[in-house]
Structure formats: structure tokens, C-alpha cells
């Protein structure tokens, strides 16, 4: 830097000095130095950067408020507590389950494991729903039980939420109840509820590389009663536990055995919903019969077509013989 560093401001200062102006000061580091000092700026770029800074500050504030949220929450209605124990909020449950990596099984896998005696299916839905219809051979240990004592707050909550069910509360002794119901036989405990829930945070859409795109509406997966119950068992020390994918809905869709007071006829499903071996699936027997009848018709049509073709060839040969005579 034998001659320093050239700049427009220094050239402008030189021109002013040549014109006789002596009261001149030079802004060290120029406009970047002004902006770095946090002094006010104007112009379209300044407005955009100011807006970006505000957005970044708001995002940081939102993250700080999320971090300050309590990890546990005690159920309450209109500011009045309805239980004696606090429970982990779903984002905390989701993170703990994601770190643990629980096993998930399909409906068919759960059926085979239960029939072989390797597992027991525990239905965590309320007892009233379980009695109406449930997985055959499953055990009912509700995560939410009927409110003991004064039910006023529970009725009030149901009134504001539009629920007509019997008021319930979280069972603080759920893990202990599961131990009593299942026993100490060393079987895997498969938890099931109505829909099953999910820890998957990705959508079915793919990016240009063929990878699944994160779903912003499923940042914490899909909350469910069975996943919440699964976390509670894990926190209580259970390790041989699993989650039924799709819950009772997937079990019913596959037309697997159910029990209960209110059994409905399985829905009719098109053939492409049936497994390749037709071992399971909605309306499997009807589809098998339909396929067999269709195959028989195809064979009969083939035989008929072959007979007509032979008759046609015979008639053609007779006509040729007469023409030669």
C-alpha cells in the first residue's frame, strides 16, 4: 500500500481541496462502517435488511418461548386442576420416543406374534369402546379412566369441547396396571388405540433427488393414545414393547378377528386390496370365489372357441373337396 487505498470519498475530498474547501472530514470505513455501527440507514436495501432483521428476531423470540415451555403439564379445566399428577407434553414425548426408537409392527405381524404366544396386545382405549369392539384376544388397560369422585370439572370440560362421553382423566398408575394385566411372562407388549398415530415427520411428496420432503404440519409426528402410553411404559422401565401401526383401524381393514358386543360386517373391498396369497384381507373369501368363477368361464370360453375353430376348418376342407370333384 505505497499509495494507500483508493476510494471515491478520498477522490471527492481531493477535488474539494483543489477548489479551496478546507473544512473537510473523511468517514473512516465509509458506509459499511456506518452500517456495522448500527447507525440508521435508509433506502430499499436498508428497508429489506431491517425487515429481515425483524423476522429473524421474531423467530429467535419464538424459539426462546418454545424452549421456556414446561416439559410437563397438569390437566386442568378453566384454571382448575383435575388431577394430582403432571404429564409430559406431546413434543417431549415425541422426542423421547424418537431417541428410544420403539419397534412398530403391522396388524398381521401382531396377530401372528399374539397367536404364537410371543406377544400380548394391550388396548389402551376407554373400556366402553373396548367392550363394543376390540381385537380378539387383546387386554384392555385404558390410559384414561373414569374420573373418580367429583365429576363436575370433567362434565364442564366435555360441555366446552362438545363431547358426550363419560368424563375421564389420565390414569396416574397406568404402568402398574399394565404390569398387573400382562403379568411377568416376558412377552412383548404391543400397544394399540383407535388410529395408532405416527412418529414419521415426512410427507409422501418427493424432491428432485427422490427423497421424501419434511411435512411442516407433522413436525412432531401424529399424536396418539397408544404412543403416549408407550412412552409411559418406557419411562417406567419397560423395554420389550412395541406399537401397532394404524391401531385398530389397520386391524379392522385387514379383516382380522375381532370381538365385542357391536360387531359390524366387514366392508367390501376391491380385489387389489387383498394380499397376494389371499390369506388375509377384506372380503377375501368372496374374492377367491369370484376369481375361481372367472377362471372357469375363461376355460369354458377357450374350449368353445377351439371347437368352433375346428368345425370351421372341417367345413372349409369339405368345400374344397367338392370343388375339386
Half-sphere exposure of 306 (CA within 13 A, CB side): 6
CA dist 131 and 77 (Å) reads: 28
Out of 74-83, 158-167, 209-218, give the one with best mean pLDDT.
Answer: 209-218
Q: What is the pTM of this model?
A: 0.59
Number of CB atoms found within 10 A of residue 107's CB? 25
C-alpha to C-alpha distance for 62 and 50, rounded to whole angstroms:
18
Instruction: Express as a percent the part of the chain with pLDDT over 90.
Output: 33
pLDDT of 67 above 50: yes
Alpha-carbon gap, residue 167 to 158, rounded angstroms: 7
Residues 282-308 pLDDT 10s: 556 666 677 777 777 676 777 777 778
pLDDT exceeds 60 at position 264 = no
The percentage of residues in the chain with a pLDDT greater than 70, rounded to a whole number, is 77
251 vs 309: CA distance, rounded Å: 51
Q: Is the pLDDT of residue 254 over 70?
A: yes
Contact between 187 and 178 (Cβ < 8 Å): no
What pLDDT score was predicted for residue 48? 81
pLDDT band for position 39 (cuts 50, 70, 90): confident
Residue 244 vs residues 73, 111, 267: alpha-carbon distances, Å? 26, 10, 21
Q: What is the DSSP string of 97-165?
A: HHHH--EEE-HHHHHHHHHTTSEEEEE-S-HHHHHHSEETT-EE--SEEEPPS--HHHHHHHHHHT--S
The mean pLDDT value of the chain amounts to 80
Judge whether residue 270 has pLDDT over 60: no
Averaged pLDDT, 244-253:
92
Which runs of consecutive H residues, i.e. helices, occur in the chain? Answer: 8-18, 30-36, 44-67, 90-100, 107-115, 127-132, 152-161, 174-182, 225-235, 247-253, 284-324
pLDDT grade, residue 256 (50/70/90)? very high
pLDDT at 235: 92
Is pLDDT of 320 > 70?
yes
> What is the predicted pLDDT for the residue at 26?
82
**Is the pLDDT reported for residue 79 higher than 70?**
no
Cα gap 45→68, rounded to integer Å:
34
Q: What pLDDT, in 10s, does the model give residues 122-152?
A: 999 998 889 999 999 999 999 988 776 555 5
The dihedral built from the CA positions of residue 81, 86, 92 and 94, taken in this order, carries a sign that is negative
Amino acid at each position: 500500500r505505497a499509495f494507500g487505498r483508493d476510494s471515491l470519498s478520498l477522490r471527492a475530498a481531493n477535488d474539494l481541496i483543489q477548489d479551496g474547501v478546507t473544512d473537510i472530514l473523511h468517514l473512516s470505513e465509509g458506509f459499511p462502517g456506518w452500517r456495522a455501527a448500527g447507525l440508521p440507514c435508509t433506502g430499499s436495501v436498508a428497508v429489506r435488511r431491517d425487515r429481515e432483521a425483524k423476522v429473524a428476531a421474531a423467530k429467535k423470540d419464538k424459539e426462546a418461548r418454545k424452549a421456556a415451555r414446561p416439559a410437563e403439564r397438569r390437566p386442568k379445566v378453566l384454571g382448575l386442576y383435575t388431577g394430582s399428577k403432571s404429564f409430559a407434553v406431546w413434543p417431549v414425548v415425541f422426542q423421547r420416543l424418537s431417541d428410544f426408537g420403539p419397534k412398530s409392527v403391522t396388524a398381521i405381524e401382531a396377530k401372528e406374534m399374539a397367536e404364537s404366544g410371543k406377544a400380548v396386545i394391550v388396548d389402551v382405549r376407554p373400556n366402553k369402546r373396548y367392550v363394543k369392539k376390540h381385537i380378539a384376544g387383546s387386554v384392555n388397560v385404558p390410559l384414561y379412566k373414569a374420573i373418580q369422585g367429583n365429576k363436575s370439572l370433567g362434565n364442564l370440560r366435555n360441555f366446552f369441547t362438545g363431547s358426550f362421553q363419560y368424563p375421564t382423566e389420565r390414569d396416574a398408575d397406568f404402568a402398574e396396571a399394565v404390569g398387573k394385566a400382562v403379568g411377568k411372562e416376558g412377552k412383548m407388549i404391543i400397544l394399540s388405540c383407535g388410529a395408532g398415530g405416527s412418529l414419521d415427520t415426512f410427507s409422501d411428496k418427493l424432491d428432485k433427488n427422490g427423497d421424501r420432503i419434511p411435512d411442516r404440519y407433522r413436525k412432531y409426528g401424529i399424536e396418539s393414545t397408544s404412543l403416549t402410553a408407550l412412552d409411559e411404559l418406557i419411562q417406567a422401565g419397560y423395554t420389550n414393547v412395541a406399537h401397532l401401526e394404524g391401531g385398530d383401524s389397520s386391524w379392522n381393514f385387514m379383516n382380522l378377528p375381532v370381538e365385542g358386543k357391536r360387531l359390524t360386517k366387514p366392508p367390501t373391498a376391491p380385489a387389489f386390496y387383498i394380499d397376494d396369497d389371499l390369506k388375509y384381507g377384506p372380503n377375501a373369501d368372496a374374492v377367491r370365489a369370484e376369481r375361481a368363477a372367472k377362471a372357469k368361464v375363461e376355460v369354458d370360453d377357450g374350449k368353445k372357441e377351439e371347437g368352433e375353430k375346428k368345425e370351421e376348418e372341417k367345413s372349409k376342407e369339405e368345400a374344397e373337396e367338392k370343388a375339386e370333384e
